[in-house]
Amino acid sequence: MALLENKVAYVSGGGSGIGRAVAEAYAREGAKVVVSDINVEHGEETVNVIKQNGGEAFFVKGDSSSAMDNKHMVEVTVSKYGRLDVACNNAGMGGPAKPTGEYAPDAWDKVIALNLNGVFYACRYQLEQMEKNGGGNIVNIASIHGQVAAPLSPAYTASKHGVVGLTKNIAAEYAQKNIRCNAVGPGYIETALLKDNLNKDAMNAVAAKAPMNRLGSAEEIAELVLFLSSEKSSFTTGSYIIADGGYTAI
Could you say which of 103, 121, 156, 247 is catalytic? 156
**CA-based torsion, 238, 243, 249, 250: positive or negative:** negative
156 as an active site residue: the answer is yes
Residue whose C-alpha is closest to residue 146's, from 190, 91, 185: 185
197 phi and psi angles, rounded to 5 deg: -110, -10
Q: Hey, which residues are catalytic here?
A: 156
